[in-house]
């Protein structure tokens, strides 16, 4: 083709190249993501979960999952690229070596007579006098005439033999990657087009960036408003009872900005009557309590009632006009609870310690909302009843409080006792005592197959030293192991009443229950094995290299860590500064934000020695002792005056010990001049006491 046509094809080639740089990597990423999500079905297979709308696989829902904005955009970009390829192929011709014999349809070495004969035949077909088509005229002038001239004219023949073209040496052509019509526009139209290009290419992206930055400045990296974090930090109290955590949760700015319509008044009144039993209103002053409740902020009242509808499994009682708000409230709840947990364990004193009691309350609320179990169900109903009440049973399908009482008469009073039974004994118990059908008993087994077992192995030590002295940097090393009867590590929990898919997360806390303080906190997930492998390998390698271990020891330790991670363990390492001299009764908690009754804890006695004046350690005389002591759980449960006892946390026995015991633990000094902690021979650290 001509030079102008070659230049006009540069713009489509440029656009095709730019699109290819974006579309190809994006497509590969989406394919790899889709491939990694296939395989084993990670959600519960009980009948309740299969009926849950979030797991329905109807044709319309499948189409909706595929036809997301991202996928549609990707397909459209591939269509545009295909069109550009077709356009470029149709509008350009590949540069070919000039071959006059081939153009005239002759073999190399043809005679002059054959050349003239072939030229006359082609002239009849393409000469302007014979064929008025402009393309035919173009082909005749650019190819046929030049081919004949190259083979008959002496000068042209010499140019062809030297340079491969009858016109002599061909110069290199340069083009601009813009559409040809933009290069040919003159006058006022060119100015208008220039302004349009400036607007689309500069002003529009700038406006989009300004709007995005103005909105994103209101949010954190977890898509939670900064104002929400300020509200949570302000309303979080050290003695906040678990039943009061809900009142803090609803004070999120996202909920405050939720519209409250006049048409919502009557539906909210009806919903109030349904969930009133969970509001902890004083029955002696019921009217005054109700009046006080309705004087609150309308958005907070609305949000609290909707969350109580979730907790009491009364989603079907939510009026139609509030269904969209109900879905929005639950969609925001998981990440708001995560930020609320961070506010509970945030540093509140000079030592950088957070608060334990509200942190436990946040986790209990998260579990209850996910499983749709009322907070009142966590209250122990008797001296022999489990600390967390009947709530663990209620997360199982077809269970109710009456069923729990029936199986309790058969000496199965705790959730762990039910789990420890064999499948056959459990089936017989549920059918005979609970009145379950075969299908209902199978549903219970399907859920128990994915309920996790958590083991916690904790070590505290000072790197390169024996024992802990005041002011030392102590390293906490914890292996959290998750096992399920079905062999899976990552799985979606059984949560048929929660309308959105939810991943399991766990929180590791190292806390002083007597002082109500959290020393170390970290969120743990089991869904991303690749990230866990990388983090564990790097942590182990850096830790051992700092102690001077050789390459063989480091490689072996890294291999062991990788095997542990692949088998369902996660490594948590954190550092904290040792407090003043004394003995501290600490507890390591592993708390689930999803399951009720699977949390684990390990009691640890930390002995901190007085700092040596010269900075040296006081050593042992030929005796070595480990750094941890696992202690039996304290049974004393003196009531705390600041603690709201409308119901007790499952950890209340550890949280409410007397002030006298607290003073002794903090002020007690070591009887011997040892520089280590003592470990009780009575148990393993990996077996947490519930």
Span 566-595, average pLDDT: 94
| Percent of the chain residues past pLDDT 70, beyond the cut | 76
Q: Which of 66-70, 438-442, 466-470 has the lowest average pLDDT?
A: 66-70
Q: Is the pLDDT of residue 192 over 60?
A: yes
Residues 632-647: tens digit of each pLDDT = 334 334 434 444 444 4
Residues 476-498: tens digit of each pLDDT = 999 999 999 988 888 889 999 99
Work out the pLDDT band at 385, boundaries 50, 70, 90: low
Work out the pLDDT band at 184, boundaries 50, 70, 90: low
Which tokens is 23 given? 């579309």
Edge-to-edge strands, sheet with 569-577: 453-461, 473-483, 569-577
Name the residue with higher pLDDT: 191 or 564. 564
| Percent of the chain residues past pLDDT 90, beyond the cut | 43
Give the 3-state secondary structure of residue 442: helix
Q: Where do runs of H (alpha helix) occur along 38-144?
A: 47-51, 59-66, 69-91, 100-103, 112-126, 134-139
Name the residue with higher pLDDT: 662 or 405. 405
Residue-wise over 487-508: b if at least 16 C-beta within 10 A, else e?
ebbbbbbbbbbbbeebbbbbbb
Span 677-685, average pLDDT: 33
Span 245-253, average pLDDT: 95
Q: Which of 97-101, 272-276, 356-360, 550-554 has the lowest average pLDDT?
A: 97-101
Angle formed at CA 687 by CA 681 and CA 689, multiple of 5 degrees: 95
Q: How many residues make up the chain in this entry? A: 690
Sign of the CA dihedral running 438, 443, 447, 450: positive
Phi, psi of 522 (to 5 degrees): -155, 140
Q: Is the pLDDT of residue 452 over 90?
A: yes
Which tokens is 599 given? 């949390």
Which among 461, 466, 475, 476 has a CA at the least distance from the CA of 616? 466
Token pair 């690749």 in the structure block, residue: 530
Q: Is the pLDDT of residue 41 over 60?
A: no
41 vs 34: CA distance, rounded Å: 14
H helix or E strand, kind and range, residue 524? strand 517-525
Q: Is the pLDDT of residue 43 over 80?
A: no
Over the chain, what is the mean pLDDT?
80
Angle formed at CA 135 by CA 132 and CA 140, multiple of 5 degrees: 85
> CA 107: distance to chain centroid?
70
Whole-model pTM: value is: 0.70
400 vs 418: CA distance, rounded Å: 15
């Amino acid at each position: 083709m001509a030079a102008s046509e070659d230049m006009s094809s540069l713009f489509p080639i440029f656009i095709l190249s730019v699109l290819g740089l974006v579309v190809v990597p994006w497509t590969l990423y989406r394919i790899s993501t889709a491939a990694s999500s296939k395989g084993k079905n990670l959600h519960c297979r009980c009948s309740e979960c299969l009926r849950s709308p979030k797991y329905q696989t109807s044709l319309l829902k499948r189409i909706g999952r595929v036809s997301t904005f991202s996928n549609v955009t990707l397909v459209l970009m591939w269509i545009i690229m295909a069109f550009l390829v077709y356009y470029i192929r149709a509008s350009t011709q590949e540069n070919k070596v000039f071959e006059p014999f081939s153009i005239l349809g002759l073999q190399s070495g043809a005679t002059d007579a054959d050349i003239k004969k072939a030229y006359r035949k082609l002239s009849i077909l393409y000469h302007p006098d014979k064929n008025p088509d402009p393309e035919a005229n173009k082909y005749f002038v650019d190819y046929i005439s030049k081919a004949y001239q190259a083979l008959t004219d002496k000068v042209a023949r010499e140019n062809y033999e030297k340079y491969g073209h009858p016109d002599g040496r061909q110069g290199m052509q340069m083009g601009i990657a813009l559409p040809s019509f933009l290069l040919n526009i003159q006058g006022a139209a060119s100015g208008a087009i220039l302004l349009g290009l400036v607007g689309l290419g500069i002003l529009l992206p700038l406006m989009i960036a300004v709007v995005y930055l103005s909105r994103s400045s209101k949010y954190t990296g977890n898509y939670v408003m900064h104002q929400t974090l300020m509200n949570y930090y302000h309303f979080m109290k050290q003695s906040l009872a678990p039943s009061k955590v809900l009142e803090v949760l609803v004070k999120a700015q996202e909920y405050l900005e939720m519209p409250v319509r006049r048409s919502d008044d009557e539906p909210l009144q009806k919903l109030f009557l349904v969930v009133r039993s969970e509001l902890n209103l004083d029955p002696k002053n019921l009217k005054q309590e109700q009046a006080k409740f309705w004087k609150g902020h309308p958005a907070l009242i609305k949000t609290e009632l909707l969350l109580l509808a979730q907790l009491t499994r009364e989603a079907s009682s939510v009026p139609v006009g509030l269904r969209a708000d109900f879905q929005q409230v639950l969609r925001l709840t998981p990440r708001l609870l995560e930020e609320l947990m961070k506010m509970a364990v945030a540093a509140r004193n000079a030592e950088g310690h957070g608060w334990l009691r509200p942190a436990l309350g946040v986790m209990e609320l998260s579990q209850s909302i996910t499983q749709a179990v009322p907070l009142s169900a966590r209250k122990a109903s008797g001296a022999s009843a489990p600390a967390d009440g009947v709530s663990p049973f209620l997360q199982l399908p077809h269970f109710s409080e009456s069923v729990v009482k029936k199986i309790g008469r058969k000496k199965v009073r705790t959730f762990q006792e039910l789990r420890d039974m064999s499948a056959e004994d459990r089936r017989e118990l549920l059918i005979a005592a609970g009145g379950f059908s075969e299908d209902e008993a199978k549903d219970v087994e399907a859920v128990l197959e994915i309920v996790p077992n958590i083991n916690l192995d904790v070590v505290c030590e000072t790197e390169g030293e024996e024992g802990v002295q005041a002011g030392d940097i102590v390293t906490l090393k914890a292996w959290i192991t998750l096992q399920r009867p079905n062999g899976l590590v990552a799985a979606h929990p059984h949560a048929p009443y929660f309308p959105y898919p939810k991943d399991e997360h766990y929180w590791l806390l190292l806390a002083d229950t007597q002082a109500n303080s959290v020393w170390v906190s970290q969120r743990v997930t089991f869904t991303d094995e690749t990230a866990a492998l990388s983090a564990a390998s790097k942590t182990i390698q850096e830790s051992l290299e700092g102690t001077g271990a050789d390459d063989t020891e480091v490689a072996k330790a890294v291999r062991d860590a990788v095997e542990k991670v692949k088998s369902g363990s996660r490594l948590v390492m954190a550092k904290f500064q040792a407090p003043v001299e004394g003995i501290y009764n600490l507890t390591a908690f592993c708390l689930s934000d999803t399951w009720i009754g699977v949390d684990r804890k390990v009691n640890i006695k930390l002995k901190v020695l007085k700092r040596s004046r010269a900075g040296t350690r006081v050593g042992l005389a030929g005796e070595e002792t480990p750094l941890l002591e696992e202690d039996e759980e304290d049974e004393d449960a003196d009531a705390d005056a600041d603690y709201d006892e409308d119901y007790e946390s499952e950890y209340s026995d550890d949280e409410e010990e007397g002030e006298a015991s607290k003073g002794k633990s903090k002020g007690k000094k070591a009887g011997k001049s040892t520089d280590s902690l003592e470990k009780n021979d009575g148990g393993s650290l990996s077996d947490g006491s519930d």
